[in-house]
């Protein structure tokens, strides 16, 4: 069972690999297109621990707060509300329950897909990179917990 350090380091490493793939496979290199795979890798690795009070949950809630503030700033109140609801759900789950399940990883990746396409207007290639990086980070969390 790992704690914050190994999860964060592994998620960061996966995120940096995603950044490299993004730079190689996309033509437009913006801060968002380069930073999104890094954030996705870290978020994937830390998201399963949102159901406990930990450093991981603190980082994840900060990311959700920033995303919610951005959505409010651009006037997308419905999506901001959805992000707030999504961030509250883990508090109703027991640790190593649904939030740690493979099914939740797929659902969260699907939600990230929709956000990437419809909110950030990412290209199909960048969306695939971001979602793949998130899911790889999520799987790394499960693997590290088993060691």
Give the per-residue SS3 of the chain.
Answer: CCCHHHHHHHHHHHHHHHHHHHHHHCCCCCHHHHHHHHHHHHHHHHHHHHHCCCHHHHHHHHHHHHHHHHHHHCCCHHHHHHHHHHHHHHHHCCCCCHHHCHHHHHHHHHHHHHHHHHHCCCCHHHHHHHHHHHHHHHHHHHHHHHC
Question: In the prediction, which pLDDT does 55 show?
Answer: 74
CA angle 128–134–137, rounded 5-degree value: 135
Question: In the prediction, which pLDDT does 99 show?
Answer: 78
Report the C-alpha gap between 92 and 83 in whole angstroms: 16
Question: In the prediction, which pLDDT does 125 show?
Answer: 93
Report the C-alpha gap between 46 and 105 in whole angstroms: 12
Question: In the prediction, which pLDDT does 64 show?
Answer: 80
- Reading the chain (147 residues) residue by residue, the pLDDT tens digits are 567 788 889 999 999 999 999 999 988 888 888 888 998 999 898 888 776 777 777 777 788 888 888 888 988 888 888 878 877 777 676 667 777 888 989 998 998 898 889 888 889 999 999 999 999 999 999 898 887
Question: In the prediction, which pLDDT does 21 show?
Answer: 92
Q: Where are the domains of the chain?
A: 4-60+95-146
């Amino acid at each position: 069972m790992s704690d914050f350090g190994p999860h964060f380091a592994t998620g960061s490493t996966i995120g940096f690999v995603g950044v490299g793939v993004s730079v190689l496979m996309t033509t437009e290199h913006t801060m968002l297109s380069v930073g999104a795979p890094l954030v996705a890798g870290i978020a994937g690795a830390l998201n399963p621990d949102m159901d406990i009070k930990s450093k991981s949950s603190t980082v994840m809630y900060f990311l959700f707060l920033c995303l919610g503030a951005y959505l409010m700033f651009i006037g997308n109140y419905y999506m901001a509300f959805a992000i707030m609801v999504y961030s509250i759900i883990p508090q109703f789950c027991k640790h190593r329950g649904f939030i740690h399940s493979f099914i939740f990883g797929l659902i969260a990746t699907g939600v990230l897909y929709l956000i990437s396409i419809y909110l950030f207007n990412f290209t199909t290639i960048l969306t695939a990179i971001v979602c793949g990086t998130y899911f790889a980070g999520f799987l790394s969390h499960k693997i590290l917990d088993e060691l």
